């Protein structure tokens, strides 16, 4: 469903008349800061393209522009008002975002799962109308799979990923769900750890984020000329041993130790720990 194929009229709307789709608000979703920053750099040109809204003021397309306008204190925005039901608006929103960088697969699946109750209700109605399992309010396994297939089709992902996200909603630690929303981890990686305890999930996420950060730091250091470093010479091995002794005696608090696969004999030290050693050495 493309916007130019939806009957609509051009209107000027006060920002106070516009609001998020109920599913968008219910899930606590927001526009990434990076996207807002990119739009802000374009200046007033960004507002030449109208938002797409329903007749009740639900924003279907243009969340970033709406949020930017709100931050800038604008009073009105140009909109295309279309006659869409709440479900049609959600389907359009999901499809539109599949062609942009606004919402990743995890978020779009979360939104599509909001369609599931209506899809189940229609399947149950068809079941009764067709005379199958008369009097039963439960779908067969095949019919349940069909519902998941419709959810997957709305997003453009596999049925397996829809199933994984449903499981993650029930079992994942809140920090894992947040990392999924920001795109720090993929659905499959999070799902592989969903059977762990909440504490172990949090620890596994921290290790993954730390290792990614370490690898990124190493790449940055390699790409830069050593003379450009803002730090003084790193501590000698002997100084580091003294520092580790201080850690052991609890003089500077707890320090995490992460083992990484890297060639050679190298000790990586965080800048905070380096500053401590520098201070103690002085």
pLDDT in tens, 178-208: 999 888 899 999 999 999 999 999 999 988 8
Structural domains of the chain, count? 3
Among candidate residues 102, 121, 137, the one where a domain is terminated: 102
Mark whether 167 and 182 lie in a shared domain: yes
User: In the predicted model, is pLDDT for residue 80 greater than 70?
Assistant: yes
Mark whether 50 and 93 lie in a shared domain: yes
Tokens standing for residue 41: 């750099």
Strands (E), 112-206: none
Between 56 and 230, the higher pLDDT residue: 56
Among candidate residues 197, 225, 253, the one where a domain is terminated: 225
Tokens standing for residue 185: 């981890």
Mark whether 113 and 170 lie in a shared domain: yes
Mark whether 119 and 133 lie in a shared domain: yes
Mark whether 217 and 252 lie in a shared domain: no
Helix (H, G, I), strand (E, B) or coil at 178: helix
Q: Which of 96, 97, 74 is nearest to 13 (CA)?
A: 74
> Directed axis angle between helix 159-171 and helix 141-155, to 10°?
100
Please report the pLDDT score of residue 65 as a whole number: 93
Report DSSP state, residue 9: E
Please report the pLDDT score of residue 129 as a whole number: 66
pLDDT band, very low/low/confident/very high, at 229 (cuts 50, 70, 90): very low
Contact between residue 24 and residue 62 where contact means Cβ atoms under 8 Å apart: no
User: In the predicted model, is pLDDT for residue 234 greater than 50?
Assistant: yes
pLDDT band, very low/low/confident/very high, at 276 (cuts 50, 70, 90): low
Q: Supply the range of the domain harboring residue 47.
A: 1-102
pLDDT > 90 in the chain, percent: 42
* Residues contacting 235, CB < 8 A, separation 6+: 243, 269, 274, 277, 278, 281
Mark whether 130 and 84 lie in a shared domain: no
Phi, psi of 10 (to 5 degrees): -80, 125
Report DSSP state, residue 54: E
Mark whether 189 and 121 lie in a shared domain: yes
Mean pLDDT of 61-83: 94
Mark whether 159 and 239 lie in a shared domain: no
User: In the predicted model, is pLDDT for residue 99 greater than 50?
Assistant: yes
Instruction: Write the CATH number for 84.
Output: 3.90.1530
Mark whether 110 and 96 lie in a shared domain: no
User: In the predicted model, is pLDDT for residue 228 greater than 60?
Assistant: no
Between 41 and 224, the higher pLDDT residue: 41
pLDDT band, very low/low/confident/very high, at 238 (cuts 50, 70, 90): confident
Segment 144-171, tens digit of pLDDT: 768 889 999 989 899 999 999 999 999 9
Between 272 and 56, the higher pLDDT residue: 56
Among candidate residues 73, 102, 131, the one where a domain is terminated: 102
Report DSSP state, residue 184: S
Mark whether 271 and 206 lie in a shared domain: no
d(CA 116, CA 169): 14
* Residues contacting 140, CB < 8 A, separation 6+: 133
Tokens standing for residue 40: 């802000």
Please report the pLDDT score of residue 121 as a whole number: 83
Mark whether 143 and 253 lie in a shared domain: no
Mark whether 158 and 195 lie in a shared domain: yes
Contact between residue 51 and residue 62 where contact means Cβ atoms under 8 Å apart: yes
Mean pLDDT of 109-121: 89
Burial degree of 76 (CB within 10 A; 0-12, 13-18, 19+):
middle
Contact between residue 77 and residue 46 where contact means Cβ atoms under 8 Å apart: no
């Amino acid at each position: 469903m493309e916007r130019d194929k939806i009957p609509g009229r051009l209107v000027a709307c006060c920002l106070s008349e516009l609001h998020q789709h109920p599913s968008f608000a219910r899930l606590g979703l927001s526009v990434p800061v990076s996207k807002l920053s990119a739009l802000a750099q374009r200046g007033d040109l960004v507002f030449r393209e109208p938002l797409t809204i329903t007749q009740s003021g639900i924003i279907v397309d243009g969340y970033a522009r709406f949020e930017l306008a709100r931050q800038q204190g604008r009073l009105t925005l140009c909109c295309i008002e279309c006659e869409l039901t709440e479900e049609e608006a959600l389907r359009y929103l999901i499809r539109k975002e599949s062609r942009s960088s606004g919402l990743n697969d995890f978020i779009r699946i979360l939104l599509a799962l909001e369609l599931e109750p209506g899809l189940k209700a229609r399947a149950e109605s068809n079941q009764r109308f067709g005379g199958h399992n008369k009097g039963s309010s439960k779908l067969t396994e095949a019919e349940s799979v069909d519902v998941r297939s419709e959810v997957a089709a709305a997003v453009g992902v596999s049925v397996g990923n829809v199933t994984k996200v449903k499981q993650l909603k029930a079992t994942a630690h809140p920090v894992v769900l947040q990392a999924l929303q920001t795109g720090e981890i993929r659905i499959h990686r999070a799902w592989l750890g969903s059977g762990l305890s909440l504490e172990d999930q949090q620890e596994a996420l921290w290790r993954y984020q730390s290792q990614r950060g370490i690898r990124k730091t190493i790449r940055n250091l390699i790409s830069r000329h050593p003379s450009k470093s803002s730090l003084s010479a790193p501590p000698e091995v002997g100084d580091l041993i003294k520092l580790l002794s201080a850690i052991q005696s609890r003089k500077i608090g707890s320090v995490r130790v992460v083992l990484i696969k890297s060639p050679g004999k190298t000790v990586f030290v965080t800048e905070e720990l380096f500053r401590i050693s520098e201070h103690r050495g002085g």
